[in-house]
Structure 1
Amino acid sequence: MNYQESREYIDRVTREIPSVLGLEHMRELMKRLGNPQEDLKYVHIAGTNGKGSVIAFLYSALSQAGYCVGRYVSPTLYSYRGRIAVAGQMIDRDSFALYLTQVADAIQVMTADGFPHPTAFEIETAVAFLYFKNKGCDLVLLEVGMGGNLDATNIINNTLLAVLVSISMDHMSFLGNTLSEIAEKKAGIIKEGSHVVTVRQKTEVMEVICEKCRSNHAECTVADAAQAQVVEEGVEGQTIIYEKECYRIPLAGIYQKENAVAALNALKVLDGLGFPTTAEQKKEGLEKVSWNGRFTVLDTEPLFVVDGAHNPAAADMLVQSIEHYFKGKRLIYIMGVFSDKDYQSVIRKTVPLADQIFTIQTPNNVRALPAQKLAEAIEKINPHVEATESVEAAVEKAYGLAEDKDVILAFGSLSFIGIMTETVEEEKKKRKEQQND
């Protein structure tokens, strides 16, 4: 297959093969591919919110130290291939097509032998393992897709470090209806004798993690963000003091302090596991981190911020950030959500703060809630809502309504952030041209 054919193959599998949790099919597929994942070492990251940010911090710092680091994340905002990257470069088209062809060939034989067809996520994960092995990665930063214990990424055995970010209620239909049940699944990435770093969690979650560490003889470090102090901040970044060291972080959002502290503790553990980084490399790594779509400023006149808040816990964090950075400001929302998310909770938490809300249907996704249905749900709490036919229309309406000191905030799903960013850039160009006429 060429790259276009490989993408069409993935799209077809996404439509036809439903997502499942379980390792049986993944084990069979990887065995037929020669188990390339066994030749790599891992930092495995699970949790509800903050996985991508912690990986971004680690990826930047470890790369600064000269290690060949692989990164596997999902979803991606701007390029499909961005989910698989090594040494700062996403997988090239030819490599993706090459390894996907190998995986597809193995699947053809596998299904002929009577095994079920792997899911799109399992296929992408297999491609990542093949690519990381071929690139000779020193270490792979591996993000869990959903849950932990039965996620396709949990086929790995060589986990040096498991990192657990904030765990809250999400994917209940797959993971359970209580925090303890969900924590049990996410803590399933903890392997016998591995090291663990967790942020400070709610009591019932900490109990599960501590028990899982005890039963697996895993050494646990609790990264406590309360021990870090923010000494300078704004919508374009913040500076924190942690363990007497000063770190500049070019990411806003009050939750990024916790993610940075988790990453710093992970780096400290890795120091003793054969991957040391100097104090300067840690500082430089955090300062040069790039992770868009998390309370990211797209424009300043007026202020336009995009955030991936898509579940109740993320909505709580977003509200805290709004009240922290934009107290007293007039807020204009652009919202789009997935129908299978707890969007009612997100609505209850966020929409009372808005002066006007424009709803969109997340483009090109079968899970997207129609803009009109979202508007009807919002209207029960805030009547100042209007459904729009596209991202472009919502952005144009928001800009048309906003005055200089107002804030436009787009959120509800990570999936539309790429097109939202492109649309805002086009709108900025158009406005600049109009000013110059």
Structure 2
Amino acid sequence: MNGNEAIEWIHQQLKFGIKPGLDRVQQLLEYLGHPEKGLKLIHIGGTNGKGSTVTYLRNLLQRHGFKTGTFTSPYIERFEERISINGHPIDPQRLASYVEQVKPICEKISQTELGAPTEFEVITVISLMHFQEERVDFGIMEVGLGGRLDSTNVITPILSMITSIGKDHTNILGNTIEEISYEKAGIIKTGIPVITNVHQKEALGVIESKAKLHNASLYQLNIDYNYQVNNYIDWGESFDFLSKDMCLHNLELSMKGKHQIENATLALYGLILISKKEKFKLLDEEIRKGLLQSQWPGRLEVIRDQPKIILDGAHNVEAMTQLVTAIKSQWESNRVTVLLSVVKNKPIDQMLDILEQNFQKIYLTPFDFSTSYEYNELYKNFQKTHTYVQEDWETVIDQFIEKDSTENILIVTGSLYFVSQVRAYVLQHK
């Protein structure tokens, strides 16, 4: 089996859908001798900001000399990046060797009442196998969906982190902030400290109750750590980090948006707690370098300068609001064109309303994905005052590059899968 065949087999497990629950993963790990045991893992959940927080924390740990594994989703350029060590995606042949081990076990489990493991369950287990074989110092596991019943929740981490909570995947997680918070707070473990950036009072109440129930120390933004935004810089952010353990001034990020400052402060406070537990010294200069060098494709990422094209996978209402705030802080609204595509389980009406209130030219388009809208559905239901339904997103890109002046900006947003396809098209063909 080669790397492509391994990925094809993994993707075939999609036919088993999303099946919340931990039994199949635990059975897989049992057959494999529990590769998760002995690993020092950090578990990161939340609605928005998980991927960015992972990359900040990974770079901070790396700058302090630690070999650090990451498990993230979805991927932007290639499947293998979902399982990486020190930022380097797993080798395709190595991935194939893990699939050869896991495949017969999956077939055996599929014959039981548990049913076949899903794609996400399989790659969760493979990431743990890889971290164990590579003897990482730390592994960072990003929750896929929710938390309580997510396949990553089989681990016992040294630290749990909850980035933010918003209304996303409501068909699975619930319709209220309290219901969604209950699922997200499901990653809290007995005696394991938890940090959160969550703002909403109703969400914090759920998290505080869960932490108290499990005797888990809880650390919160605006109570245990905070930040102060500094003066405007051309691109990126500058801020001061404030806590009783450490204060650092004029930290810089290469990623744009106040929400990135919040993600960075969460990661930095996580580093502080890890350093206390693992007894290593924090180095100011390495913290500065780790934050500044952190990049996360598809999050306010500039992929072309003249004319400027920016990608941001804002796939829910909260993320779209953050995107609009970041863009309007940098450019006048009349310079901005938006290209949007979302999948069917997202609140497209609310997302379009946010864009319509702020920008005058929005293109809505389908894309090549199993749960994307068809062109006719979009044309019939979502054409609005400033929104134009376009059948072919490549045409929007091509025309923008050919006709628009260097003063204007194209924002490509919505599904991360869509952003990934646009990214590949622009970088390869333009």
TM-score (norm 2): 0.94
- Residues 232 and 275 (structure 1 numbering): CA distance in 2 closer, same or farther, change over 3 Å? farther
Matched with 1:44 is 43
1:15-30 equivalences under 5 Å are: 16-30=15-29
Q: Could you say which residue in structure 1 is the equivalent of 2:302?
A: 297
CA distance in 1, matches of 2:355, 2:333: 15
Distance 1:148 1:399, change over 3 A: same
Q: Match of 2:143?
A: 144
> Which of 184, 191, 213 lines up with 1:193 in the alignment?
191
SS at match of 2:278: coil
- 1:4–1:300 CA distance, 2 compared to 1 (3 A): closer
* Residue among 374, 377, 396 paired with 1:373: 377
Report the residue type matching 2:396 in the other structure: A
- How many angstroms apart in 2 are the aligned matches of 1:326 and 1:409? 12
Does residue 1:337 correspond to 2:342, yes or no? yes
4+ runs deviating over 4 angstroms: none
Among the aligned pairs, what percent are the same residue?
28
1:432 is matched with none
1:215 deviates by: 0.9
369-378 or 72-81, which moves further after superposition? 369-378
Using the TM superposition, name which of 55-64 and 219-228 deviates more. Answer: 219-228
Work out whether 1:253 is the aligned partner of 2:257: yes
Instruction: Give the conservation status (yes or no) of the 8 Å contact 1:358–1:388.
Output: no
Are the counterparts in 2 of residues 359 and 371 from structure 1 also a CA contact under 8 Å?
no
Q: Which amino acid aligns with 1:392?
A: E
Task: Please give the alpha-carbon distance, in whole angstroms, between the structure 2 residues aligned to 1:148 and 1:193.
Answer: 18
Map of 2:388 onto structure 1:
385
1:218-249 deviation per Cα after TM superposition (whole angstroms, max 9, x unaligned): 11111239942222445631211222422111
- Aligned counterparts of 2:349 and 2:232: Cα–Cα separation in 1: 31
2: distance between equivalents of 1:57 and 1:98? 30
Aligned pairs for 1:264-343 (under 5 A) are 264-274=268-278, 276=280, 277-343=282-348
Q: Is the 8 A contact 1:359 1:394 kept in 2?
A: no
> Which digits, 9 at most, give the CA deviation of each residue in 1:64-90, with x for residues without a partner?
111111100000101100000012211
- Structure 2: runs of 5+ lacking an equivalent: none
1:4 aligned partner: 4
1:93 partner letter: P
The structure 2 residue matched to 1:414, chosen from 401, 413, 416, is 416
**Deviation of 1:131 (Å):** 0.7
Query: For 1:86 and 1:183, how far apart are their aligned partners in 2?
Result: 30
Superposed CA RMSD? 1.8
Q: How does 1:165-184 map to 2 (within 5 A)?
A: 165-184=163-182
User: Per-residue displacement from partner, 1:89-139 (whole Å, max 9, x unpaired)?
Assistant: 110011100011111111122233454100000011111111111000111
Letter in 1 for 2:357: P
Give the length in aligned residue pairs. 423
Is the CA contact (8 Å cut-off) linking 1:361 and 1:368 kept in structure 2?
yes
TM-score by length of 1: 0.92
Query: Are 2:356 and 1:354 equivalent residues in the alignment?
Result: no
- d(CA) in 2 for partners of 1:235 and 1:292? 19
Q: Deviations over 1:39-62 (max 9, x none)?
A: 212110000000001101000110
Higher mean displacement: 120-129 or 229-238? 229-238
Unaligned runs of 5+ in 1: 429-437
Give the Å deviation of 1:422. 2.8
Describe the superposition over 1:293-337 as per-residue Cα deviations: whole angstroms up to 9, x where unpaired: 111112222221110001111111112112222234422111111
Please list, as runs of the form range in 1=range in 2, the aligned pairs for 1:50-129 lying within 5 A after superposition.
50-129=49-128
SS in 2 for 1:415: helix
Tell whether 2:407 aligns with 1:402.
no
In the TM superposition, what is the alpha-carbon distance from 1:359 to its structure 2 partner? 2.7
Would the aligned equivalents of 1:3 and 1:97 in 2 still touch at CA under 8 Å?
A: yes
Between the aligned partners of 2:316 and 2:298, the Cα distance in structure 1 is 15
Paired AA for residue 402 in structure 1? D
Change in Cα spacing, 1:387 to 1:372, as seen in structure 2 (3 Å) is farther
Q: Which amino acid aligns with 2:125?
A: A
Could you tell me whether the CA contact under 8 Å between 1:47 and 1:164 is conserved in 2? Answer: yes
